[in-house]
Structure 1
Amino acid sequence: MSERTPVSVLVVDDSAQNRYTLTRLLESTPDVRVLDRAADGEEGLKKVLELKPDVVTLDLEMPKLGGFTFLRLLMRTSPTPVIVISSYAHRSDVFKALELGAFDFIAKPARGTQEELEKMRVELLEKVHAALHVRPGQRHASPGARALAVAGELPLVVAVGASTGGPPAVQRVLEGLASEPTPCVLVSQHMPAQFTRAFAERLDRIGPFTVTEASEGDVVQPGHVYIAPGGRHLVVVERGTRLELHTPPPTPLDKYAPSVDRLFTSVAQVLGNRALAVVLTGMGADGAQGAREIQRAGGEVWAESEETAVVFGMPGEAVAAGAVKRVLRLGEIGPALAAWARKRR
């Protein structure tokens, strides 16, 4: 048995089969203990207040009290890290849940094969343990974006890397950058393949940027945001007088796809001392090596501060690598990027 106190989890799902499966996956290690299970949001909210679990897993579609209302009430009364368990059919709902304060999400396996369940088990346990590092009530508020015209000029390029807690953070950065919507922003966000297009579509609706999931051969344009497709990398290459995007598949050596390191390294190689990269919240060390490449090329790397990062793993590793020039609170990053862009027009 582990000497550590097990992480306590409450499972909230209206499906008895899902509750059983999640409990089995969670309790496959002695480091995690399922305190109880709830079949709807109303019962789940009562059990959170009664049992005080470290983490809650949540199905968004439930009777009596739906997942969104559950999140609003939970964050108001007893802020607790929540991991949303989402089906591919309702992937757009995930991003609303993250804005309401959910810590992260996991996709339900499409077929439920043993291989898929094992992958889900590893991801679930990783995120449950990471949730322990979240301060109560911490989340990325979203003040709303302004719709501004995009100037027709050659783009400045900003590369952004994020993982856990990243979707609301990326949105917040773009909203802060809205006063100067001329740069091109390349985003490598750890996310399953079926969710990145929905993420891009959601960001596109807030304006002023045109946001799309990146495709092979896209030409980099000002005022555009390109989201790395899940399961593939996003890299920038120089083609004569223009910049193009490539989306190569991962190799067996790649731990993440998309990889922040791969994006940052390509930006360093192509842009040199004009490169600017931002490392946002996330688990692990992805981005640290790429940040060093940008530093060696004479570019700049900024990192989100520990004060606002949901998980300080990725920005902390980049800072520890000695590659970060500025450490900023999340709300400061967008305006700082706007000021940086204005100086370089």
Structure 2
Amino acid sequence: MSANRDSAYRVMVVDDSAVIRGLLSRALEEDPEIAVVSSVANGQMAVSSIARSEVEVVVLDIEMPVMDGLTALPKLLEARPGVQVVMASTLTRKNADISLKAMRAGAADYVTKPSSSSELTSADSFKRELVAKVKALGANARRRLGPPKSAGPVRAAAVRPAPAPRQVTLRRPPMMGPRALAIGSSTGGPQALLKVLGELKGPLDIPIFITQHMPATFTTLLAEHIARVSGRPAREASEGETVMPGTIYVAPGDWHMRAEQSAGGVKLHVDQSPPENFCRPSVDPMLRSLVQIYGSRLLTVILTGMGSDGLKGCQAVVAAGGGVVAQDEASSVVWGMPGAVATNGLCYAVLPLDRIADHLKPLLARTAA
């Protein structure tokens, strides 16, 4: 356990392997802003101890004896409303599907664990991802829960000053209806995407392009989930396919997705050129390619996510006369990506998640204009 770090984010690690719990705890506590206050072996133990520990973030394994992660998740959220849960699993189709179901049930995010303790020991990129997500979600939990009451007196130097409200200046909305819709998202994005697309009912004569920061396997399943909730054809983009109206295209994990105008219509290309904004797939290359085709008729929505991926792409969209909508801070799991475009004056609307679909419907009805 971390000693006397008064303002550190309080984390519970739940995994049936004592070795993995130890490795995860050490990786987290290398950062002075994180304190692992509880480490337990199954979901039932997690539910029993969460209220006593005033936990802000739970790193929750999926496959465990006694009570697995998916069963424990709603019980943890009920026991401590506002706690942020990160699902942790090895990258299999089964675990990816469970992770997506968990996010629909209230988990904030996921991490894909290396498949063995020896791989985990040397997996620096995994450790950086885990720490970054825990800190971002810890900040979100603290906004919802307030500072832990049992942490003892907080040293003046350790008090985190409340961030100043970020100013947002809105642009004028575009005059014409879109001919393509592009969506970028990351942390919290699967839940947000499924909500927006599930509520976007009615005729749709334009393609939708999505870049969600996810590894392979996850994006395959995300497209399947989107198809089910939206009632529209949705799939991972594949090299050289022709874009069809009313179809949803998801950038495949570990591949950038770009579009290109050709004699036979708009074609999709996927490639493994270097990551942008530490991401592959990245929102920026998708937007850069789409704006070359659709120009002022491209509508872009930036949903919840860490970092600023999509900022440069949205600058290109606005320069071409297109429109940008961002999810607002209160409804975002992390207001990084949407906050970047909103505070840089690129948006004509900044909306709560539950209002985005209703905002899009009349715009998409104007596509024939």
Task: Establish whether TM, by shorter chain, passes 0.5.
Answer: yes
Please give the alpha-carbon distance, in whole angstroms, between the structure 1 residues aligned to 2:120 and 2:57: 25
Q: CA deviation at 1:229?
A: 0.8
* Ranges in structure 1 where 5+ consecutive residues have no aligned partner: 139-154
Please give the alpha-carbon distance, in whole angstroms, between the structure 2 residues aligned to 1:190 and 1:253: 11
Q: Which runs of 4+ in 1 moved over 4 A?
A: 1-4, 135-138
Where does residue 73 of structure 2 map in the other structure?
71
Q: Which moved more, 1:205-214 or 1:92-101?
A: 205-214
Q: CA deviation at 1:253?
A: 5.8
Q: CA deviation at 1:267?
A: 1.4
Check whether the contact 1:231–1:250 (CA below 8 A) recurs between aligned residues: no
Percent identity between matched residues is 35
Say which of 98, 103, 127 aligns to 2:108: 103
Check whether the contact 2:59–2:85 (CA below 8 A) recurs between aligned residues: yes
Q: Residue type of the partner of 1:216?
A: E
Check whether the contact 2:296–2:322 (CA below 8 A) recurs between aligned residues: yes
1:30 aligns with 2:35: no
Please give the alpha-carbon distance, in whole angstroms, between the structure 2 residues aligned to 1:92 and 1:202: 9
Where does residue 171 of structure 2 map in the other structure?
none
Where does residue 191 of structure 1 map in the other structure?
214
Matches within 5 A, 1:330-341: 330-341=353-364
Where does residue 144 of structure 1 map in the other structure?
none
Give CA deviations for 1:134-183 in whole Å, capped at 9, x if unaligned. Answer: 25798xxxxxxxxxxxxxxxx93100000100001011111121223333
* Ranges in structure 2 where 5+ consecutive residues have no aligned partner: 145-177
Check whether the contact 1:188–1:260 (CA below 8 A) recurs between aligned residues: yes
Where does residue 147 of structure 1 map in the other structure?
none
Query: Compared with structure 1, are the counterparts of its residues 163 and 42 closer, same or farther at alpha carbon in structure 2 (3 Å cutoff)?
Result: same
Q: CA deviation at 1:224?
A: 1.2
Q: CA deviation at 1:340?
A: 0.8
Where does residue 40 of structure 1 map in the other structure?
42
1:87 aligns with 2:110: no
Q: CA deviation at 1:133?
A: 2.8
- For normalisation by structure 2, the TM-score amounts to 0.84
Query: Compared with structure 1, are the counterparts of its residues 115 and 295 closer, same or farther at alpha carbon in structure 2 (3 Å cutoff)?
Result: farther
Q: Cα RMSD over matched residues?
A: 2.2
Where does residue 309 of structure 1 map in the other structure?
332
Residue 179 of structure 1 aligns to a residue whose secondary structure is coil
Please give the alpha-carbon distance, in whole angstroms, between the structure 1 residues aligned to 2:244 and 2:235: 12
Q: CA deviation at 1:268?
A: 1.3
Check whether the contact 1:182–1:223 (CA below 8 A) recurs between aligned residues: yes
Matches within 5 A, 1:128-147: 128-135=134-141
Where does residue 150 of structure 1 map in the other structure?
none
Say which of 165, 177, 190 aligns to 2:188: 165
Check whether the contact 1:291–1:323 (CA below 8 A) recurs between aligned residues: yes
Q: Residue type of the partner of 2:112?
A: A
Q: Residue type of the partner of 2:52?
A: E
Q: Residue type of the partner of 2:49?
A: K
Please give the alpha-carbon distance, in whole angstroms, between the structure 1 residues aligned to 2:104 and 2:85: 12
1:285 aligns with 2:308: yes
Q: CA deviation at 1:39?
A: 0.9
Please give the alpha-carbon distance, in whole angstroms, between the structure 1 residues aligned to 2:275 and 2:212: 19
Residue 73 of structure 1 aligns to a residue whose secondary structure is helix
Residue 124 of structure 2 aligns to a residue whose secondary structure is helix
Give CA deviations for 1:81-104 in whole Å, capped at 9, x if unaligned. Answer: 111101212111111110111111
Query: Compared with structure 1, are the counterparts of its residues 312 and 335 closer, same or farther at alpha carbon in structure 2 (3 Å cutoff)?
Result: same
Give CA deviations for 1:70-125 in whole Å, capped at 9, x if unaligned. Answer: 11112223121111101212111111110111111000114553686211110000
Please give the alpha-carbon distance, in whole angstroms, between the structure 2 residues aligned to 1:115 and 1:135: 28
Q: Which moved more, 1:59-68 or 1:96-105?
A: 59-68
Q: CA deviation at 1:241?
A: 5.1
Where does residue 127 of structure 2 map in the other structure?
121
Check whether the contact 2:256–2:272 (CA below 8 A) recurs between aligned residues: yes
Where does residue 12 of structure 1 map in the other structure?
14
Please give the alpha-carbon distance, in whole angstroms, between the structure 1 residues aligned to 2:244 and 2:328: 29
Query: Compared with structure 1, are the counterparts of its residues 133 and 124 closer, same or farther at alpha carbon in structure 2 (3 Å cutoff)?
Result: same
Q: Residue type of the partner of 1:342?
A: A
Give CA deviations for 1:277-316 in whole Å, capped at 9, x if unaligned. Answer: 1000001111111111000001111111112111111111
Q: Residue type of the partner of 1:131?
A: L
Residue 323 of structure 1 aligns to a residue whose secondary structure is coil
- For normalisation by structure 1, the TM-score amounts to 0.89
Aligned residues: 329
